[in-house]
Structure 1
Amino acid sequence: MSREIVAGVDGSPESLAAAGWAAREAVRRGLALRLVHAWRWEPLDIPLEQDRTHQERWADEVLRAAESTITGGHPGLAVTAEVLPDTPVAALLSTEERAEMLVIGSRGHGPVVGFLLGSHGQQIIAAATRPVVAVRSRDDAEAEGDGEGDGQGGEIVVGQMGGAEDSAPALGFAFAAAAARGATLRAVRAWNLPSLYAYSPGSMALADEAGGLVPYEKKALREALAPWRERFPDVRVTEQVELGSAGQVLLSSSGAARLLVVGRRARRGALGSRIGSVAHAALHLAPCPVAVVPHE
């Protein structure tokens, strides 16, 4: 089954930016693009005339306008577009079987305006089994810096946390994105000093064997990157190990990034699925598109 990139569109500037980003990514990776718009007839229980035909026509026009914009800018790209009769969250998640990634728009950034993706974006990221890329309305081909004309593809930043298996999906996504762009990959591992209660001779044995905490963290990053360096030998990699919280270190490292990639543990808790504090910080404050990649 061939993979495709799926972008949700609703007529907003954010969703059009997301569709544009998805189209460029599809061209880079040699994939098809699927545009979807969620709409279903839900008459309101109010004493006003409600025209289903008019609303249905409007939904189709939103989708066709986005499709026209994308095909006009990328004439060689295979694009399909359809209205899915469901809620936005369910509609986008229903496309995952063939999706290489899902791409959605986001309103802006800063916690003062509430969750930047809104409830739909939050639910999609929390429940998706495929990577989800959130794109801001100001992102376009020029701002993204595809490297056209200067031979440089910019920099992709990826957070590496935990062991090699934990971070493998995020690293794999980031290496593929860097390879598609001819970009440099910056792999960032943040660490903190162990708390007084966590410290013990036994708990520090591995760090002692590595020659200290910093060498231990560098070794962990190097080992996590090793299989991906072998798989993508042409990707230039910068390794960064820094003391601090993961969210703060990643944000401070992504000021000039074309894409920030973070992982999300795909487990349901007592309160349902969550996106995690690192992904939450990145989605709120990163100045570039953010890819959230689920892992077990």
Structure 2
Amino acid sequence: MKDQAELLRDMAKKIRPFDFQVISITSGKGGVGKTSFTVNLAYHLQKLGKTVLILDADLALANVDIILGERPKYNLLHLLSGEKNINEIIWESKYGIKFIPASSGFEELANLPKEKQMQILNSLQEIYYKFDIMLIDTSAGISENVINFCLASDKTIVITTPDPTALADSYAISRIILNHKPENMEIGLVVNLVEDEYEAEKIYNGMNNILKEFTGKSIKYFGALRKDKKLSESVKDRYVLSAVNPKSSYSRDVELIAKFLIEGKQPQRKDNFWNRFIRNLKNLKVE
């Protein structure tokens, strides 16, 4: 019988390395608009011709389904229990956005043991070839699960706001990622709830200068999301703002970021998401 290491190697060999891109969206603090951005980003990436899948990786406090105004029949709990396979839990919203739902209020999902993480990972490799991009909406904070998702991705987007506590927490998670960051993995900042681009760039420059001083590494600037009261209305009423009001300032800002992610220079990775996640799963320790 094969041991775990051999099974991991066999699994990684099955994955073609550059067929699709994985983008993690994370934040050090909750309440900064991470999930709203993820959902609206998926909508614009689809409008730009990409097939997109969202993985709701906020496993115990899921809310992608809430933002989309959906009530999926099945979620990751059904996958982990063996009741359903990965194709059976993927849910397509009325906007055409496909996502893998997590669940809410189940403590066992908050800190999954490695064997359960491997079960999800094994399932994902069965369907990745159907998509161009997978967006991972991580939970807030700096757990090893979150950091592993970020480090295994091709790009990580850190969302923050001008709020001092949000800035402190986004700095903390950016610093951890940079300390472990593999070559050619991209990490960039998106600043939400700003008055204009100037305010966002000022925040980015300040954070990046501090990160360079203490880590010797830099993060990129991915864009700004201006304040837009229509966004809070869309969250309250459970609809995707970019689909209903594409001319809103928030929608236009997300569209610019989507275009940048597609048209910007794509880093060439020497391995793939699965290889990196498995390696981190075995070796990563967040202090």
TM above 0.5: no
TM-score with structure 2 setting the length: 0.35
**What's the TM-score, normalizing by structure 1?**
0.34
Bigger-Rg structure (1/2) = 1
Structure richer in strand, relative to its length: 1
Between 1 and 2, higher relative CO (CA 8 Å, sep ≥ 6) is seen in 2
